[in-house]
Amino acid sequence: MLKRHNFALGLAWLTVLFLVPLPFLQTVSTGLPAIYNDQRQAILYGTIAYAWMLAAIYLSTRPRWLDRLIGLPEMYMIHGLVSIAAIALAYLHKTGTTSEGWTKTTGDWAFNLFLAVMLYSLIFLASWLTSRIPPLAQLKTWLEKVFHHEFNVWVHRLNLVATVLVFIHVLLISYIRAIIPFMAWFLGASVLVAGSYLWAKLGPRAAGELVANVPLAPNLQELTIRLPRRPRGLDLYPGDFIFLSFPELVGLSEPHPFSLANDPQADGHRIRLAIRGDGDFTRLLAAVPVPQAVQVQGGYGRYHAFLQEQRPAHVVMIAGGTGVVPLLSLLAAPPAPAVPTTVFYNASTVASMLYPDQFTAWEKRPALTVYRRVGRFSDDDVLSRLPADLHDVAVLIGGPAVMARHWIKVLTQQGIGRGQIYYEAFTW
């Protein structure tokens, strides 16, 4: 069964890898003087590297239209892998060409900066990698005690400085400047990406107010935010997450992603977030006074869109810990007519089970079956309770990446197609 999400993700990869560099390659290859034929391959490598880096910067702006098609985790995955590939090609460009003076200096500075930031980011910002390599995850946890997330984000932004150096490096090459069609693409694409980045960072954001900040459990806070009646730029659906920041508070001014715990379309102009204090940003949230000005960007996420595309006969939700939060938002806004839904929700302790009274009320719905427990569900606990016909089942998973990979493997082995399962990892 061909799923729209998989098609869109494949198209995104195709566009970034091939379509974005194509006009750059075509114009520079056609206009390159024959005297530089011995360096042609290396020059083309450098051309592709720059085009890919522009694409990576654009993806870092989190374009919401693309998030709704492929999801932000996949977008960040493309961003990370394409950036690494661009640096590899930049190395081949560097070793296969000759230059001198400021042309060489700017190129060397840019490459060294890209390489340093890449190695740093692989530890702190590439959780899709660290979640799969336990020693690297342990190193990250230890280093995060010294290097806070906001500092890591600013280090990552040094890629912008390196890209500007590459831009200057190209402008200093006279025989490249003479290729008018290439320069048109080069300047146009650079300005477009720079404008997109500046708009994403400096453009309008929805201003709200924190009106409640209460503990739900040890190390777990519930934040309630009141939004204006017509919030600028906000487009929220059940299951979404937002980027939240407190512009007036030190250490909380950099946007962080958090899932909605309520139905944003049913609760007027209020959204609720249930946040565990795992990092330097989230640990500070318990001390934020009320009222407090907040900025909100969003919505992001594909849980709602996934269900709209699948139109399943039965929905299965598997959640662990605070990974249940976006699924709570979906449960608060069930489809009409109600689709039979089975929920498996586990937590490590009784105290950390979120919203037990709300679950008790939901369990009265005839189409909803909920299994809650402290500790993990065994494979048989879940498999024995699945509907008999798995063809029209949609599975939503919320929780740690390790847990999600386990259940994806177990469910696909039972005959549920990978396209019937959606997991949105907060791996950044």
The CATH number covering residue 390 comes to 3.40.50.80
Please tell me whether residues 251 and 314 are part of one structural domain: no
Please tell me whether residues 370 and 337 are part of one structural domain: yes
Please tell me whether residues 289 and 348 are part of one structural domain: no
404 assigned to some structural domain: yes
At 380 the pLDDT is 96
In this prediction the pTM is 0.88
Q: Is 406 exposed, middle or buried (0-12, 13-18, 19+ CB in 10 A)?
A: middle
335 assigned to some structural domain: yes
The domain that contains 245 carries what CATH number?
2.40.30.10
Please tell me whether residues 398 and 288 are part of one structural domain: no
Long-range CB pairs of 38-42, under 8 A, 24+ apart, other chains included: 39/96, 39/97, 39/98, 41/96, 42/92, 42/93, 42/95, 42/96, 42/97
27 assigned to some structural domain: yes
Please tell me whether residues 309 and 416 are part of one structural domain: yes
Please tell me whether residues 219 and 178 are part of one structural domain: no
328 assigned to some structural domain: yes
At 428 the pLDDT is 55
Q: Is the dihedral of CA 368, 315, 68, 294 positive or negative?
A: positive
> Residues 273-324: pLDDT tens digits?
999 988 778 889 999 999 999 999 988 999 999 999 999 999 999 999 999 9
Name every residue whose Cβ is closer than 8 Å to that of residue 220 and which is 6 or more positions away in sequence: 274, 275, 276, 277, 322, 352, 354
375 assigned to some structural domain: yes
Q: Domain count of the chain? A: 3
The last residue of one of the domains, among 265, 300, 335, is 300
428 assigned to some structural domain: no
Please tell me whether residues 111 and 16 are part of one structural domain: yes
85 assigned to some structural domain: yes
Please tell me whether residues 187 and 257 are part of one structural domain: no
The last residue of one of the domains, among 245, 265, 300, is 300
At 279 the pLDDT is 79
36 assigned to some structural domain: yes
3-state secondary structure the chain: CCCHHHHHHHHHHHHHHHHCCHHHHHHHHHHCCHHHHHHHHHHHHHHHHHHHHHHHHHHHCCCHHHHHHHCHHHHHHHHHHHHHHHHHHHHHHHHHCCCCHHHHHHHHHHHHHHHHHHHHHHHHCCHHHHCCCHHHHHHHHHHCCCCCHHHHHHHHCHHHHHHHHHHHHHHCCHHHHCCHHHHHHHHHHHHHHHHHHHHHHHCCCEEEEEEEEEEEECCEEEEEEECCCCCCCCCCCCCCEEEEECCCCCCCCCCEEEEECCCCCCCCCEEEEEEECCCHHHHHHHHCCCCEEEEEEEEECCHHHHHHHHCCCEEEEEEEHHHHHHHHHHHCCCCCCCCCEEEEEEECCCCCCCCHHHHHHHCCCCCEEEEEEECCCCHHHHHCCCCCCCCCEEEEEECCHHHHHHHHHHHHHCCCCHHHEEECCCCC
Given a cut of 70, the residues of the chain with pLDDT beneath it are 1-5, 122-149, 151, 267-268, 335-337, 427-428
Please tell me whether residues 322 and 394 are part of one structural domain: yes
At 205 the pLDDT is 80
Please tell me whether residues 269 and 325 are part of one structural domain: no
CA distance 58 to 7: 21
**Contact (Cβ atoms closer than 8 angstroms) between residue 333 and residue 265:** yes
Q: How many residues does the chain have?
A: 428
Please tell me whether residues 16 and 160 are part of one structural domain: yes
The closest alpha carbon to 307, from 276, 336, 267, belongs to 336
At 2 the pLDDT is 42
Domain limits for position 210: 206-300
The last residue of one of the domains, among 185, 202, 219, is 202
Please tell me whether residues 183 and 280 are part of one structural domain: no
The domain that contains 25 carries what CATH number?
1.20.120
